[in-house]
Amino acid sequence: MVGGIAEELLTCNRSHSTFHSLEASASKTSGRYGLGFSLNYTFSKSLDDTSSIMGPSVGGAGNVQLAVPQDPWKLGADKGPSTFDITHILVFNVIQMLPFDRVGLLKPLGSHLTSGWQLLNISTLTSGSPFTVYSGIQQSGFGSAGSDRPDQIGRPIFSTGRTVREDYFGRGADNTSFFSTPIGIPGGTGPNQGRLGTLGRDTFRGPAYYDIDMALIKDTAFGRRGAGEAATLQFRAEFFNVFNLVNFGLPANVVRGTGFGVISKTAGTSRQLQFSLKLIL
């Protein structure tokens, strides 16, 4: 019989975070050319020692983000990028009035067909989200098997542009070779005679995210009400992720888990098309 007590958890409200950012924007509207655009860019850094309340949160298939600190006696050792930290965010949108009614070749079609056309674009480009690598085994006597981190002994080159695009770490079944789990060592503690790893929290970044949406809109006025039109029929053709870009999610991040270093889920949808009619009275 082995003595001792079971695992104990203490919840406290102690945490610390900082956020700094540079934000810039530009916009322009030209009535002469029927063109308007706006651009917004954010360069930021959010740091904390925990980004959520106690308990795990899944960041996608195979990817786990934990709020529990690796060392409950050294909470500052968990200071790192917030799990929601995005370094670069670029958002821009464009609206262009399409002057088909000014094209001589199209004038015989009539203004009902050639006027009221607009082309819209909304695009979002961001850098990748941070994630932590966990060992998947209890390394010390703290009793927190899920939150223990390994030592990093190699430098992975992250990419989704390889032959096997989902192999984010690049070594397939050998992705674990970038890390070493310190167990079975002299002076180690806990059931596996180990120590806590030296790898930091949220030290790696997932793939960037790109989303480009477009819409073609046609407003057709009809009927009369006093000096103006009675109603407008609006046709919309909307294209989400118009170029069908593949946005990869975060990779499996538990060294002793299944498919470590491999991405098994996308971060967005494939190209989506939507057509609609709207009556505006």
pLDDT greater at residue 103 or residue 3: 103
Closest CA to 175 of 206, 207, 153, 198: 153
Q: pLDDT tens digits for 222-255?
A: 877 666 667 889 999 999 999 999 999 999 999 9
Percentage helix, strand, coil for the chain under 3-state DSSP, each rounded to 5: 10, 40, 50
pTM of the model: 0.85
| Backbone dihedral region for residue 84 (phi beyond 0: left; psi -120 to 50: alpha; all else: beta) | alpha
Q: Read off the pLDDT of residues 19-32 as tens digits, 9 standing for 90 and up.
A: 999 999 999 999 88
Q: CB–CB of 232/221 below 8 Å? A: yes
- 265: tokens are 């889920």
Residue 108, token pair as written in the block:
């015989």
What confidence tens digit (pLDDT) does each residue in 87-115 have? 999 999 999 999 888 888 887 888 788 88
CA dihedral 127, 154, 71, 84 (to 10 degrees): 10
Rounded mean pLDDT of 24-48? 94
